[in-house]
Amino acid sequence: MKKILHDKQSSDFQTWKLLDDHQKKIAATSIKGHFRNETNRLEYTWLEWENFIVDISKNRIDREGFDLLLELAKEAGLKDAIEAQFTGAKINYTEKRAVLHTALRSPDNSPILVDGSNIVPELRATQEKMYAFCDKVISGDWKGYTGKSITHVVNIGIGGSDLGPAVVVEALAHYENHLNIRFISNVEGDHHSEALKGLNPETTLFVIVSKTFTTQETISNANSIRSWFLNQAPKDAISKHFVAVSTNTKKTIAFGIAIENTFSMKDWVGGRFSLWSTVGLTICLAVGPKHFRDLLEGAGKMDLHFRKTPFEKNIPLVLALLSIWYNNFWNAESEAIIPYTQYLRSLPAYLQQGIMESNGKSIGRNGKSLNYQTGTIIWGAPGTNAQHAFFQLIHQGTKLIPADFIGFKKSLKGNSEHQNKLLSNFIAQTEALMNGKTKDQVKIELDASGIDYNEQEKLTPFKVFEGNKPTNTILIDKLTPSSLGKLIALYEHKIFVQGVIWNIHSYDQWGVELGKQLANKILDEIEGKNSYPHDPSTLKLLSKI
Ligand code: F6P
């Protein structure tokens, strides 16, 4: 394998400097200006693949800038980095692990080696075990301790062990079966009490999901729920109502979960990339193995697209480069993700973990501080609701906020009147963000409304829209398990590309450790077991609890 790490600051790349100059050169040209200058603009800004259309034409970039971005990816050694990831190199350097969530959705059984061993046979066996279990629960053959079938499933987990399953279960609600699914994540007692409300222990299955099986929130919730359960059921009922997903079988056994009820996962699956693994057990219960397989199949297709497609037509890669363009050359502070469907209302929150836990790093792979921005800040909410909330700031605020608009041509329930309205908003917004509204247009409108001249003069500046706001449009046929798999995998690969170009380690998450350590100390203090020195603010806060 070629060397994929480099010792440079990425800002030392020759292309980085050229991009810096190029940004200055085209800064005064609007997106509309680029359309005027480039009669063939859609040739390179319109990407079509399978049932995806990605239109990147409404961006502050021209052909020369686009080519420079592609060149940057080459200079950063992206091609070798992609191969290293897919073939099991230990690219999670600080944890000394391979990164192979892609193996879980690989379309065939070609060997994938980790430490010289083929991981595919075991992962297929684990998948089959999960599918067989889910079939049994869904069909009602799996019986609780009083002989009744399962009606409710509660997923207990946090971070990647919650967000991935939760976002997909919500997104695929159209495909769900009769099982009623709930999620408990926060350590907050009120949250878990609410989630347990009305549950019958005889017909409830608890799925404890924790890669490490040491996470405070998950283990506290699991312990409290086990006590709640044992207040109503005998001890040997545990095996019919509690299953675990973890790499840590010692701990799952110690918790009391039978080995046959434990679904293993491997350390080469990162928490925030784990919904494709047994962490997706709750998804598989909610929609059944067929749809779960379709989800994997869709993601597998996106993997192939990412691995094999030339850079300029490679969707995750191009979107990653545009994001770098705004983050590093236009000083954009954040990006919005606006799915035009309520089914994807939690997608921005899910991607926050994926994107910000992965690329929120300030140390380069060479161990030195970086002298450029990394880690885009992601936020968003579904359209059209978002239009009535924060779109004001995107349209007329002072900040530059590039946005991804994600829409689906067909609705799932077939109400075309509503779908037409939804899609008209979807298209209108990106057009409006680009075109804005000029002073002359405002004047014509005000004239027509009959307002007197003085009043018109006063109102005009507030009604002008500067426009030139960049957007990507991702238009997909229909929200199916397969297209959802493609979409999530698209963003995963985008994260990877950005990490390579920024020269950071995207697959560790040391930044969440400090808070965990401190919380344990403070817990000791709240419970009166110990005391530690603190700053005056922390001391006073502690005295108030
Ligand atoms: O937030 C940090 C983190 O390690 C995530 O990466 C992970 O998804 C989450 O905690 C939960 O960890 P576990 O699955 O081990 O309980």
| Tens-place pLDDT, residues 344-374 | 999 999 999 999 999 999 999 999 999 999 9
Q: What is the mean pLDDT of the chain?
A: 96
Q: Is the CB–ligand 1 distance for residue 352 below 6 Å?
A: no
Q: Is the CB–ligand 1 distance for residue 210 below 6 Å?
A: yes
Ligand 1 centroid to residue 426 C-alpha, Å:
35
Looking at the fold, whether 63 and 209 belong to one and the same domain comes out as no
Q: How far apart are CA 151 and CA 204, in angstroms?
A: 6
Ligand 1 centroid to residue 308 C-alpha, Å:
31
The confidence band for 515, taking pLDDT boundaries of 50, 70 and 90, is: confident
Q: Is the CB–ligand 1 distance for residue 470 below 6 Å?
A: no
Nearest partner of 299 among 170, 490, 141, 147, judged by Cα = 490
Q: Kindly report, residue by residue over 70-114, the tens digit of the pLDDT.
A: 999 999 999 999 999 999 999 999 999 999 999 999 999 999 999
Nearest atom within ligand 1 for CA of residue 209: 14
Q: Hey, which of 92, 212, 223, 351 would you mutate to test ligand 1's pocket, going by the most ligand atoms within 8 Å of its Cβ? A: 212
**Residue 357 annotated in active site:** yes
Q: Answer yes or no: is 85 within a domain.
A: no
Contact 82, 66 (CB under 8 A): no
Find all residues with CB under 8 Å of 360, minimum gap 6, and list them.
374, 375, 511
Ligand 1 centroid to residue 247 C-alpha, Å:
12
Provide the pLDDT for residue 26: 98
Strand 471-476 versus strand 52-55 pairing type? antiparallel
Q: Is the CB–ligand 1 distance for residue 158 below 6 Å?
A: yes
The confidence band for 192, taking pLDDT boundaries of 50, 70 and 90, is: confident
Q: Answer yes or no: is 233 within a domain.
A: yes
Looking at the fold, whether 336 and 191 belong to one and the same domain comes out as no
| Total number of domains in the chain | 3
Q: Which amino acid is at 155?
A: N
Provide the pLDDT for residue 466: 96
In the chain, what percentage of residues exceed pLDDT 70? 99
Beta bridge partners of 183: 155
Beta bridge partners of 97: 92
186 CB neighbour count, 10 Å cutoff: 14
Looking at the fold, whether 339 and 423 belong to one and the same domain comes out as yes
Handedness of CA 287, 290, 293, 298 (dihedral sign): negative
Ligand 1 centroid to residue 380 C-alpha, Å:
23
Nearest partner of 239 among 226, 224, 248, judged by Cα = 226
Provide the pLDDT for residue 160: 96
Which residue among 288, 323, 339 closes a domain?
A: 288
Residue nearest to atom 6 of ligand 1 (CA): 271
Looking at the fold, whether 52 and 191 belong to one and the same domain comes out as no
Ligand 1 centroid to residue 161 C-alpha, Å:
7
Residue nearest to atom 16 of ligand 1 (CA): 210
The confidence band for 6, taking pLDDT boundaries of 50, 70 and 90, is: low
Looking at the fold, whether 132 and 260 belong to one and the same domain comes out as yes
Q: Is the CB–ligand 1 distance for residue 160 below 6 Å?
A: yes
Residue among 74, 410, 418, 516 flagged as catalytic: 516
Q: Is the CB–ligand 1 distance for residue 212 below 6 Å?
A: yes
Q: How far apart are CA 307 and CA 268, in angstroms?
A: 19
Ligand 1 centroid to residue 515 C-alpha, Å:
13
Q: Hey, which of 208, 273, 509 would you mutate to test ligand 1's pocket, going by the most ligand atoms within 8 Å of its Cβ? A: 509
Q: Is the CB–ligand 1 distance for residue 216 below 6 Å?
A: no
In eight-state DSSP terms, residue 472 is E
The confidence band for 519, taking pLDDT boundaries of 50, 70 and 90, is: confident
Q: Is the CB–ligand 1 distance for residue 271 below 6 Å?
A: yes
Between vectors from CA 95 to CA 188 and to CA 269, what angle results, nearest 5°?
65
Residue among 170, 202, 357, 492 flagged as catalytic: 357
Q: Is the CB–ligand 1 distance for residue 161 below 6 Å?
A: yes
Ligand 1 centroid to residue 421 C-alpha, Å:
40
Q: Answer yes or no: is 301 within a domain.
A: no
Looking at the fold, whether 158 and 245 belong to one and the same domain comes out as yes
Nearest atom within ligand 1 for CA of residue 271: 8
**Residue 388 annotated in active site:** yes
Residue 497 has pLDDT above 80, yes or no: yes
Q: Which amino acid is at 223?
A: N
Q: Answer yes or no: is 450 within a domain.
A: no
Residue nearest to atom 1 of ligand 1 (CA): 159
0.85 cut: is pTM over it? yes
Provide the pLDDT for residue 62: 98
Q: Answer yes or no: is 2 within a domain.
A: no
Which residue among 256, 288, 320 closes a domain?
A: 288
Q: Hey, which of 211, 272, 282 would you mutate to test ligand 1's pocket, going by the most ligand atoms within 8 Å of its Cβ? A: 211
Provide the pLDDT for residue 1: 41
Residue among 388, 413, 529, 544 flagged as catalytic: 388
Contact 347, 167 (CB under 8 A): yes
Contact 250, 80 (CB under 8 A): no
CATH of residue 149's domain is 3.40.50.10490
**Strand residue runs (E) in 161-261:** 180-184, 204-209, 242-246
Q: Answer yes or no: is 445 within a domain.
A: no
Q: Answer yes or no: is 296 within a domain.
A: no
Q: Answer yes or no: is 263 within a domain.
A: yes
Q: Hey, which of 95, 99, 161, 505 would you mutate to test ligand 1's pocket, going by the most ligand atoms within 8 Å of its Cβ? A: 161
Looking at the fold, whether 381 and 492 belong to one and the same domain comes out as yes
Q: Is the CB–ligand 1 distance for residue 269 below 6 Å?
A: no
Q: Kindly report, residue by residue over 423-453, the tens digit of the pLDDT.
A: 999 999 999 999 999 999 999 999 999 999 9
Looking at the fold, whether 339 and 264 belong to one and the same domain comes out as no
Provide the pLDDT for residue 5: 57
Residue nearest to atom 3 of ligand 1 (CA): 159
Residue 30 has pLDDT above 50, yes or no: yes
Nearest partner of 510 among 288, 357, 408, judged by Cα = 357
Q: Is the CB–ligand 1 distance for residue 358 below 6 Å?
A: no
Domain range for residue 243?
Answer: 118-288
Q: Tally the C-alpha atoms within 13 A of residue 24's C-alpha that lie toward its C-beta.
A: 5
Looking at the fold, whether 497 and 523 belong to one and the same domain comes out as no
Q: Kindly report, residue by residue over 145-169, the tens digit of the pLDDT.
A: 999 999 999 999 999 999 999 999 9
Residue 2 has pLDDT above 60, yes or no: no
DSSP 268-305: TS-GGG-TTTGGGHHHHHHHHHHHHHHHHHHHHHHHHH
**Residue 148 annotated in active site:** no
Provide the pLDDT for residue 4: 53
96 CB neighbour count, 10 Å cutoff: 8
Output the CA torsion 97→112→492→262 (10° steps).
-70
Looking at the fold, whether 404 and 375 belong to one and the same domain comes out as yes
Ligand 1 centroid to residue 224 C-alpha, Å:
20
Q: Kindly report, residue by residue over 225-267, the tens digit of the pLDDT.
A: 999 999 999 999 999 999 999 999 999 999 999 999 999 999 9
Q: Tally the C-alpha atoms within 13 A of residue 522's C-alpha that lie toward its C-beta.
A: 14
Beta bridge partners of 46: 55
Nearest partner of 235 among 207, 256, 206, 260, judged by Cα = 256
Q: Hey, which of 207, 214, 215 would you mutate to test ligand 1's pocket, going by the most ligand atoms within 8 Å of its Cβ? A: 215
Looking at the fold, whether 204 and 154 belong to one and the same domain comes out as yes
Q: Is the CB–ligand 1 distance for residue 218 below 6 Å?
A: yes
Looking at the fold, whether 250 and 398 belong to one and the same domain comes out as no
